[in-house]
Chain A
């Protein structure tokens, strides 16, 4: 630990809302307000303190940011008005880009699956999303997961909430090229904002 400003500066430059981290006054209200409090490695209060203490690797490889459910309790209660939820997501994003985010962290895996699914056709293909999520731990486990959920699945099919035909191609946006151009532009703008060359 250095208690130098290096990592704090890195966060301020690269993380969405990162310039707020120095304003934390360590009251712990965020930690006390978080409904997931006991289930993650470090509370926001600790994450902010670790950033100031220069614990770079520990922060970026923490699972904490991935556990946030965006309930916004911490933002509402923070007496210093820190946008804590946004900072946590910003940190997650930054850690992911650097390849330091925890590899098997389920939220992260699901988020990645979701994004890949979405970008492919411009629409979320719920059937494929569900199946790729079920089968993430291999074929046998996938069958087990599917069987465990079969009643709900059949019910949804009966109620026409899921169309089995979507498994084959599925429908997408009419102007898929245009959508991909939008996504690429958004990434470019964000990278420029954070001074990065590529994500």
Chain B
């Protein structure tokens, strides 16, 4: 391979680079230290003429590996797109001349020269990614769950031209939406409950030529990967069907919180129902005045909001829809018979979206809203007595009602909690044959883990998308939108998979992980730590990579203690060689070197933006973008310290429950791994401050320079590393 490599470096002197940097000296560095076969300077490299120069040379000179020393790798991506060439971008603009304060010409030039050395070192270790050879071409979409979300996903995908297989465990389609009388309005004027529209949706789905429906069925097993899932569907009667699937949408919805767990609120009493129970009474009444189960007409009804919700001993969260649902149900009474007393007792009324209009409409209809906290519901005479504290009048009150409706919450039907698989009464939904467990990873309260801020539709199983209340508590309108979003994500997934490319967030990436099995010690860390469950185990207990499930974050590469995992264009060597390429001044130079490994998703753009805003930071920093902090292998840190770096700073995304890591677990794992770094540092006789981690969000462009400068100051105080000259 090496004999075929032809290297070239292109240095741009535009955007002020030529004024601030000694370009001739940079060229010499690329030639001598970088060992580039061709070195060119150009005053305006991203111009048509500049790009043509590179193109022509790639053609004529068969350049296989190119370095472009100009602006950030995030700029001019369209101009500098050479898909047949391994490419390294050296960031002299945002990374050097825009961030080094005036008056530091000497160290600025040193910084630029180091970056050129690093780019040349990196590119020689890169290979051109060829795409996943194991990619599958199946494009059918499996929708699990035939409620409002599932039906919507199925119809949206089918209308786009994709074949859909819809699996529903009950004998009829429709789910909760077919078990309610009317829905909260989706459209103006938001005054009255609307028809659910579920029958029309069911008939559209049933009649669609692209949709194959399996009712009374469950998923027996799901194996494979995006583009090549094999799913066994079992009917209750015992028959079995096997289908080949490209992507999966799990729209298994929710169950109502069990009201028998709320005895203090009357759960279990004859005249206390949950919202679903009230819907049944309303369906029976068909728009006429609603009667109780025992046939008695209802003259007064009390709704108890947040029944077993926002309550640490029941459901700690708000289900979002119940305030509007109670308002709708109170309207059932008022619309049929305005003399019925309807009281909604709430602690905080939450009616997001157009719910505020709906709320106002209910007030106009005479529904009474009382801010209070209900303490007990008991049988009293023909009905119930509620005791509550009126939070406005600040006094204990009682109220009697013929019927009490408890607004209980949504409990997601998410299958087995793979973190606690031994918990009882868990029935798997997907029955994944993945090493990490049968169902999707959960985040909190049993809802599916998804990146809440940036890409809520994504889950931690590539090609499997959660839609509707199984993802987070939601109402019908939100579920409709959610289901549509999930259908589009599923389509993206099958298309990317068929081209051998990564799915979100490295959408379109053709690189994929390879493992040198002869070096593997079967420690299993990669199989355990992969945030996406991409790695199984083969019969000889070696890791079995499912490239199509991989998101290309490199967490496995960061985890591997023997460093046998790599990507063609991102590996232990591509980063390691950059670390070693830096010219290390001696201990007495007073020129420390600080290695910064910056997450390319948030920290690196924040650094670029700091450059755009001319926020200056220390010219002693040497920044290397990484795919995710999860991909940082501790060997890079120990190598850096051994070769004389004075400090190593890692910049990654926020971790924990409110994580912002684009690969969910990457920054958390990095933090965990670096927590063990202190011992290593002590063994090396180094101060623990020499390795540090900071959380940087993409919006932190104002802070990021200060993070570096503060760290440079810390290094100045603790002094230069004693390791220089031994590396």
Residues of chain A whose beta carbon lies under 8 Å from any beta carbon of chain B: 1-5, 8, 22-23, 25-26, 45-46, 49-50, 52-53, 55, 80
**B363 near A46: Cβ-Cβ < 8 Å:** no
Separation in Å of the A63 CB from the closest CB of chain B? 17
* Residue B2 interfacial (CB < 8 Å): no
* A residues less than 8 Å from B398 (CB atoms): 1
B326 to chain A, nearest CB (A): 15
The smallest C-beta distance from B399 to any residue of chain A, in angstroms, reads 4
Flag if A26 contacts B392 (CB, 8 Å).
Answer: yes
Binary interface encoding of chain B residues 649-689 relative to chain A, with 1 for a CB under 8 A from any of its CBs, else 0: 00000000000000000000000000000000000000000
Collect the chain B residues with CB atoms within 8 Å of residue A23's CB.
360, 363-364
User: Whole-angstrom distance between the alpha carbons of A66 and B397 in the complex?
Assistant: 27
With both beta carbons as reference points, the residue of chain A lying nearest to B394 in the complex is identified as A46
Q: Which of A4, A25, A46 contacts B393 (CB 8 A)?
A: A46
Question: 12 A-B residue contacts at CB 8 Å?
Answer: A1-B398, A3-B343, A4-B341, A22-B366, A23-B360, A25-B349, A25-B359, A46-B392, A49-B393, A52-B368, A52-B369, A55-B393
In the complex, A25→B360 CA distance in Å? 9
Q: Which of A1, A22, A50, A53 contacts B363 (CB 8 A)?
A: A22
Complex CA gap A3/B393 in Å reads 13
- Establish whether residues B392 and A25, one from each chain, have CB atoms under 8 Å apart when the complex forms: no
Q: B642 near A: Cβ within 8 Å?
A: no
* Complex contacts, B368 vs chain A, CB 8 Å: 3, 5, 8, 22, 52
Residue of A nearest to B367 (CB): A22
> Contact between A49 and B370 (Cβ–Cβ < 8 Å)?
yes
How far apart are the CA atoms of A22 and B398 in the complex, in Å?
Answer: 20
Considering the complex, give the chain A residue whose CB is closest to the CB of B345: A3
**In the complex, are the beta carbons of A4 and B359 less than 8 A apart?**
no
Q: Report Cα–Cα, A2/B386, bound state, in Å.
A: 11
Query: Among the listed A5, A8, A25, A53, which residue makes an inter-chain contact with B390, where contact means beta carbons less than 8 Å apart?
Result: A53
Which listed residue (B366, B371, B393, B399) contacts A2, Cβ 8 A?
B399
Interface string of B343-383 (1 = CB under 8 A from A): 10000010000000001100110101111000000000000
Given A3-B341, A4-B341, A5-B341, A22 and B364 touching (CB < 8 A)?
yes
Instruction: Give the A-B contact count at a CB cut-off of 8 A.
Output: 50
Q: Are B393 and A53 in contact (CB under 8 A)?
A: yes
Residues of A within 8 A of B256 (CB): none
A184 to B665, CA, bound (A): 81
Give the residue name and chain of the A residue nearest to B356 (CB): A25
Decide if A26 touches B371 in the complex (CB within 8 Å): yes
Q: From residue 390 to 432 of chain B, which have CB atoms closer than 8 A to chain A?
A: 390, 392-393, 397-399
- The answer on a CB contact under 8 Å between B392 and A45 is yes
9 new A-B contacts, CB < 8 A, other than A22-B363, A49-B392, are A1-B390, A1-B399, A3-B397, A3-B399, A5-B341, A49-B393, A52-B369, A53-B393, A55-B393
B362 to nearest A CB, angstroms?
A: 10
* B300 interface contact, C-beta 8 A: yes
A53 cross-chain contacts in B, Cβ below 8 A: 370, 390, 393, 397
CA gap between A1 and B371 in the complex, in Å: 14
A26 and B399 in contact, given A46-B393, A49-B393, A53-B393 (Cβ under 8 angstroms): no
Known contacts A3-B341, A25-B359; A52/B399 CB under 8 A: no
- Least Cβ–Cβ distance between A25 and chain B, in angstroms: 7
Q: Which residues of B contact A5 (CB under 8 A)?
A: 341, 366, 368
Q: State in angstroms the CA–CA spacing of A80 and B390 once bound together.
A: 22
- Are the C-beta atoms of B341 and A52 separated by less than 8 Å? no
Question: Whole-angstrom distance between the alpha carbons of A97 and B369 in the complex?
Answer: 29
Q: Which residues of B contact A (CB under 8 A)?
A: 300, 341, 343, 349, 359-360, 363-364, 366, 368-371, 390, 392-393, 397-399
Residues of A contacting B360 with CB < 8 Å?
A: 23, 80
Q: How far is the CA of A45 from the CA of B397 in the complex (A)?
A: 18
Complex Cα distance, B360 from A31, in Å, reads 21
Cα-based distance from A190 to B299 in the complex (angstroms): 34
- Expressed in whole angstroms, the minimum distance between the Cβ of A175 and any Cβ of chain B is 45
CA of A147 to CA of B473, assembled, Å: 73
Q: Which single residue of chain B is at the shortest CB-CB distance from A50?
A: B393
Q: Which residues of B contact A55 (CB under 8 A)?
A: 393
- B390 and A49 contacting across the interface, CB-CB below 8 Å: yes
Chain A, Cβ-Cβ closest to B300: A4
- Give Cα A2 to B393, complex, Å: 14
B397 contact set on A, CB distance < 8 A: 1, 3, 53
Q: How far is B394's CA from A46's CA once the two chains are assembled, in angstroms?
A: 10
A188 to chain B, nearest CB (A): 30
Are B363's CB and A52's CB within 8 A?
no
Nearest A residue (CB) for B397: A1
Contact partners of A3 in chain B: CB under 8 A: 341, 343, 368, 370, 397, 399
User: Residue on B with the closest CB to A3?
Assistant: B399
Give Cα distance in the complex from A4 to B390, angstroms: 15
With A1-B397, A2-B399, A46-B392: A25-B369 Cβ-Cβ less than 8 Å? yes
B305 smallest CB distance to A (angstroms) = 14
Q: Which residues of B contact A2 (CB under 8 A)?
A: 399
Q: Which 8 A-B pairs have the closest CB atoms?
A: A49-B392, A3-B399, A23-B363, A1-B397, A3-B343, A52-B368, A22-B363, A4-B341
A46 to B349, CA, bound (A): 18
- In the bound complex, CA of A55 to CA of B392 (Å): 13
A8 and B359 CA atoms in complex are apart in Å by: 18
Residue of B nearest to A4 (CB): B341
Which residues from B are CB-within-8-Å of A46? Answer: 392-393
Which chain A residue shows the least CB distance to B401?
A3
Complex Cα distance, B370 from A51, in Å, reads 11
B363 cross-chain contacts in A, Cβ below 8 A = 22-23, 25
Min CB distance A81 to B, Å, is: 10
Which of A3, A4, A26 has most B Cβ within 10 Å?
A: A3
Compute how far the CA of A4 lies from the CA of B369 in the bound complex, rounded to whole angstroms: 11
Determine the distance from Cα of A24 to Cα of B341 in the docked complex, in whole angstroms. Answer: 17
CA A108 – CA B397 in complex, angstroms? 32
A50 CA to B393 CA in the complex, in Å? 7
How many angstroms from the CA of A50 to the CA of B395 in the assembled complex? 11
Give min CB distance, A56 to chain B, whole Å: 14
Closest to B299 in A: A4
Nearest CB of A to B498, in Å: 53
Shortest CB distance A108–B (Å)? 24
Task: Assess the B366–A52 pair: CB atoms within 8 A.
Answer: no
From residue A191, how far is it (CB to closest CB) to chain B in Å? 25
CA A4 to CA B360, docked complex, whole Å: 19
Contacts of A80 in B (CB 8 A): 360
**Cα(A80)–Cα(B368), bound, Å:** 15
CA distance A139 to B359 in the complex (A): 57
Report B-chain residues with C-beta under 8 Å of the C-beta of A26.
369, 371, 392
| Chain A positions within 8 Å of B300 at CB level | 4
Distance in Å from the Cβ of B375 to the closest Cβ of chain A? 15
Closest chain B CB from A156 CB (angstroms):
47
Whole-angstrom CA separation of A3 from B368 in the bound complex = 8
Complex CA distance for A52 and B363, rounded to whole angstroms:
12
In Å, the complex CA distance between A197 and B490 comes to: 72
Q: Which residue of A lies closest to B395 (CB)?
A: A1
Neighbouring B residues of A25 by C-beta, 8 Å: 349, 359, 363, 369
Question: Which residue of chain B is the closest to A5 with respect to CB atoms?
Answer: B341
CA distance A3 to B369 in the complex (A): 10
- Report the minimal beta-carbon distance from A45 to chain B, rounded to whole angstroms: 7
**A-chain residues with CB within 8 Å of residue B343 when the two chains form the complex:** 3
> Which residue in chain B gives the minimum CB-CB distance to A23?
B363
Determine the chain A residues whose CB is within 8 A of the CB of B349 once the complex forms: 25
**Once bound together, how far apart are the Cα atoms of A5 and B300, in whole Å?**
10
Chain B residues whose CB sits within 8 angstroms of the CB of A4 once the complex forms: 300, 341
Least CB distance, A154 to chain B, in whole angstroms: 51
> Which residues of chain B are near A1, meaning CB under 8 Å?
390, 397-399
- Which residue in chain B gives the minimum CB-CB distance to A1? B397
Chain B residue numbers with a CB within 8 Å of A49 are 370-371, 390, 392-393
Q: Which of A22, A23, A55: most chain B CB closer than 10 A?
A: A22
A3–B370 CA distance with the chains assembled, in angstroms: 9
Q: Which residues of A contact B370 (CB under 8 A)?
A: 3, 49, 52-53
For the complex formed, measure the closest distance between the CB of A11 and the CB atoms of chain B, giving whole angstroms: 13
Which residues of chain A are within 8 angstroms of B364 by Cβ–Cβ distance? 22-23
